[in-house]
Amino acid sequence: MSLTAAPTAEPAPPAEAILRRQRVRESAARTYARSFPIVPVRAHGMTVEGADGRRYLDCLAGAGTLALGHNHPVVLAAIRRTLDSGAPLHLLDLATAEKDDFTTALLESLPAEFAGGARVHFCGPAGTDAVEAALKLMQTATGRRGTLAFTGGYHGMTAGALAVSGNVAVKEPLPSGGEVTRLPFPFRYRCPFGLGGEAGERVSARYVERLLDDPSGGVVRPAAMIVEVVQGEGGAVPAPDDWLREMRRITAERGIPLIVDEVQTGVGRTGAMWAVEHSGITPDAMVLSKAIGGSLPLAVVVYREEYDGWQPGAHTGTFRGNTLAMAAGAATLRHVTANGLAVRAAAVGRYLMTELTALQRHLPVIGDVRGRGLMIGVELVDPSAEPDVCGAYPADPALARRVREACLARGLIVELGGRHDAVLRLLPPLTITDEQAHAVLDRLSDAIAAAAPR
């Protein structure tokens, strides 16, 4: 009998071991971890380095959270100053110098006609809690129930926020989360009325107005309307400015508060500091999260003071006083403003969309390119199938998944969204350089060409 030990298997690389433990330990609800089986160990700006030494250009940027990219010096300096100062990191909702400074920076960044006299409510650390707070606020202020929400909208995963979201797949297994009237969002490429263009936008506005005024329409006057200026998870679908102005007119004339969800569109993302600035509307409330915390968890509702009818404790939570996030957020807001990064986002966004639209001539699987600023969607379709009445081809989610994988293999992180998860979503940091923009286009176009049917 040989005393020689049998050869043992080589130990798994640290990254593989980590990924294996994640699959075993974490819930089946994992999302981004499934799309990107990498273990990031370092990140700076738009670049993420994995444990295997590979580098990736990050066009997800924390689903729009990282306005300044990873580990921006301004953000790190604000965090270090706060840590070194000995400031308490958790104080519920007590007043601190950091909170006061953040609130000042936030109100200074908002449109003056909205910020004047506005109130700020600090919520739990995620945008979905801010949506819940906004809905409760308007129900309290109006004494009414019900919400007007739109097809394609996404507002979060807690009960009320999910109820006003449009994604059927995540809502189907659950009981109803509230009384919601679903309205058609104007979508030029896949118009809900089969018209497309400005005709679809006009019909959408008229439909909303007539439905609300119809005594047999079945809609009891609601507590609020909630809308995204650019639908993010819905596939980077922008609301036309004229249509949004009509929604503001219709709601104002009928005494319906208008809540604008700027969780993903805020802090320069769409080419303006806040997406409502494109249309010039003044909402009754704005829901803010993601980039306002400078990469750390933070969410607020800002609203007109006449709606401030809450009693103490009406919407509270343990983690409403994240000192580090407030310091990082104030630094981010001021840096974006001082350095004109919203203008930069508009310019780079125009360049990317122009180049991607030009690619359609060579890659017919690109059905539509849309968005605003650095919130861009590229919808992939099956051009061999029959188009709909507006000329749009069926979405091709299988191709989109192949393109995402091909992008990752080429060092580009791009996530999917939209109907059928067939939209490649580009959400790079506002600090993206010209060289990085060129690299994104090169890698993306190469991945689409490689994954498309021959």
What pLDDT is attached to residue 214?
95
32-43: pLDDT as tens digits: 888 889 899 999
Residues 109, 372: Cα–Cα separation, whole Å: 20
Would you give the distance in Å from CA 85 to the centre of its chain? 33
Mean pLDDT of 268-294: 98
Q: Between residues 154 and 371, which one has the greater pLDDT?
A: 371
Distance CA 168, CA 117 (A): 38
Q: Is the dihedral of CA 130, 155, 278, 244 positive or negative?
A: negative
Length of the chain: 454
What's the order of all strands across the beta sheet hosting 40-44? 40-44, 47-50, 55-58, 412-413
Residue type, 391: G
Q: Residue 243 has which token pair?
A: 């249509």
How far CA 241 is from CA of 54, 86, 275, in Å, comes to 42, 46, 10
Q: In this predicted structure, which of 270-279, 314-323, 385-394, 400-409 has the lowest mean pLDDT? A: 314-323
**Which positions ≥6 away from 150 have C-beta within 8 Å?**
166, 182, 183, 184, 185, 227, 228, 231
* pLDDT exceeds cutoff 80 at 4: no
319/241: higher pLDDT: 241
Q: Measuring CA to CA, which residue among 242, 311, 221, 228 is closest to residue 274?
A: 228
pLDDT recorded at residue 1: 37
Closest CA to 161 of 196, 129, 125: 129
Range 313-318 contact pairs with CB under 8 angstroms and sequence separation of 24 or more: 314/136, 314/140, 315/121, 315/123, 315/132, 315/133, 315/136, 315/137, 316/93, 317/123, 317/124, 317/129, 318/92
Does the pLDDT value for residue 7 go beyond 80?
no
Average model confidence (pLDDT) across the chain = 93
pLDDT (tens digit per residue) in 378-389: 999 999 999 999
In angstroms, rounded to a whole number, what is the distance separating the alpha carbons of residues 406 and 416? 13
pLDDT at 3: 44
